Structure 1
Amino acid sequence: FAPHITITTGIILNHDHSSPESSSSAAKAEIDLILDKALSAARSVPNFTITLQSVKTGAFFFKKVYFEISPSNSALASLAQLSREVFVLLPQAIANQPHYHALSEGDRARIDAEVAKRAQSWAQSEFDPHLSLVYSELYPVNEALQRTINQRLEDALGPGFETRGIGWSGGRLSLVRCEGPIHQWQKLGYRDI
C-alpha cells in the first residue's frame, strides 16, 4: 500500500466490487458517486492542509510506523466527520429504516440530526488522524530499527524534518476495498483534490 491517511472505514457499497469482472456499470456509477461526493466535501472544507508531526512506532499492525497528524486539524476532522456521516452512518440508518424516504420530513430530519450527532461524536472521540507508512506484525520495534527508520526519513525529507512542519495542501481521495490480506486490497477509484 502507499502511505495514506484513512479518513473513514466501513463505507457501505450496494454493488459487488470484489473483482473487475463483477464490476457492472451500476457498480462503477456507485463508486463515481461516492468519490464525487467526497471530492465535493473535501473542496468545501477551507484550508485543506495536512501538516505532519513526529514519526511514531506502535504495537498495532495498522499503526506500526506512522506520522502523527494533529487531531486538532479542523479541515481533516471536518472531512472525516462529513465522510462518516454521508458514507457510513446515514446509509446504515436508511438500511435500518426501510421506508426512510416515505417518512415525514420531520421524521427524516430527526434521523438525519441523530446521524450528524453520531458522526460528530465519532470525529471527536474515535477519529485518529495519522499517515500510515508501514504495516507489520513486528513488535516491539527495537531501537536499531527505529534509528534506521528515522535515518531513511531524514535522507528523504532532510534534516530536522519533524520540526519543519512538512505537509501539503490538497491530495488524492481513494476508495479502497480493504478485505482480506493487504495484497488483496483493491483501489476502486480516486479523485485528486
Structure 2
Amino acid sequence: MALGVALWLCPKKNTQLYDKLLTLMSSLNTLFPNQPPKFEPHITITTNVDVNLVDSEKTRDDVNKILSASVVALNSLPTNHSNLVTLGKIDSQRKYFKKLYFQVKKDPNLVSLARIIREIFVITPQEIEAENIKINPHLYTTNSKGNTVRRKPSKKHKRSASSASTAQSSTVDIDERTKPIEMQKVQAIAAAKAAEWSSSEFDPHISLVYSDLHPIDNALWRTIKTRVSDYLNVANCDAEGLEDNGLGWDGGVLKLVLCEGDVNDWIVLGSVDLH
C-alpha cells in the first residue's frame, strides 16, 4: 500500500494520554512475533499528500504551506465539541497497518478537516496532472517502466542570457501548443471526490500494532484486552460505549510524515502544534 506523505494528528507529547498510549503500544508489541515496528500514536488524516521531495527548498515550502493551511482549516470550523478525537472500541483487521487499533469517533470537524486537506493537497494535484496529460500530451513522455512522466526542460531553455532570444522563441512555441487547464472544472471534480471519500473511505483510527499476524486467536485477544483495560483503566475495551469514557484529546500536533520504506525509517518532514 503506497502511503507517500501522510498528514498525522497526534496527541501532544508528555500528556497523560500520549504517555499511556505509548506505554500500551510498547506492551502490546511484545505479544506479536517478529518485533513489530515502533511508531508514534496518531490518526492519519490523509495519505499521498502532494509534496515536492526532489528539491529540498521546495519540500520545506510545501510542508509549511500544507501545515499552515491545515491549521487555518481547523480554526475555521465551529468549536462545538469537547474533544476533536475520541477513542472508541478496540478492533482488528487483516491489513498490516490496521492489525490492532482503536476506532475513533467521526467527529464532524475531524471529517471536515480530512475532506478539506484531501481535496486541496491530494485530489486537486492529481486531477490537474490527469487533465494536463489529456490536453497537453506533448509535455509528457513514457519512461523505461512504462509510466507517464513529465518531460525534462529542453536544453534550449537552459542556455545563457546570450542566447535568450533563441530560448524565448522556443518558449513561445511551447506556450502556443500548451492549452490552459480549466481550474473551475478541476476544483469541482476534486470537491466531489473529496466529499465522497470523507463519507465512504475516511476511517479515523489509532493503530496500536502493525503486524502480518492473522488471525489473532482467542487467547491472544484475551491478553490484549486485559492489557488495554489495565493500562487505560477501562472496564470493557471492546464495548461500543468506550467513547463514554472520555478518552481522547482536543488540539494536538499535526505532522507531515514521509511513509516510505521500513516503518522505522519514516521521516517527519514538519510539524505544528494546535492550540
Taking structure 1 as the reference length, what is the TM-score of the superposition? 0.85
Instruction: Using the TM superposition, give the Cα deviation of residue 51 of structure 1 relative to its aligned residue in structure 2, in angstroms.
Output: 1.1
- Structure 1 position 151, deviation (Å): 2.0
User: Amino acid of the residue matched to residue 27 of structure 1?
Assistant: T
What displacement does 1:60 show? 1.1
Matched ranges for 1:51-90 at <5 A? 51-71=86-106, 73-90=107-124
8 Å contact from structure 1 (residues 53, 165) kept in 2: no
2:257 paired with 1:179 = no
Which residue in 2 is equivalent to 1:25?
A: 57
Matched residues in 1 for 2:191 and 2:234: separation? 43
| Amino acid in the other structure paired with 1:112 | Q
1:40 deviates by 1.6
In structure 1, the residue matched to 2:271 is: 190
Is 1:15 equivalent to 2:15 in the alignment? no
Partner letter of residue 29 of structure 1? D
TM-score (norm 2): 0.61
> 2:234 touches 2:245 (CA, 8 Å); kept in 1?
no
Kindly, what percent of the aligned residue pairs are identical? 40
Deviations 1:67-112 (A, max 9, x none): 11234x211111111111011011112223449xx858xx422221
Map of 2:150 onto structure 1: none
The answer to whether the aligner puts 1:3 opposite 2:78 as a matched pair is no
- 1:12-38: per-residue Cα shift (whole Å, max 9, x none)? 11232xxxxxx6333212211111111
Alignment match of 2:226 (pick from 141, 151, 167): 151
1:19 — aligned with what? none
| Count of equivalent residues | 183
* 2:129 alignment counterpart: 95
| CA distances 1:130-188 after superposition (whole Å, capped 9, x unpaired) | 11111101111122222222222222211336341311111111111111121121111
Contact 1:42-1:79 at 8 Å conserved across structures: yes
Q: Partners of 1:179 and 1:164 in 2: how far apart?
A: 35
Point out the structure with max Rg over C-alpha. Answer: 2
Residue 20 of structure 1 is matched in structure 2 by none
The residue type paired with residue 37 of structure 1 is A
Please say if 1:125 is aligned against 2:200. yes
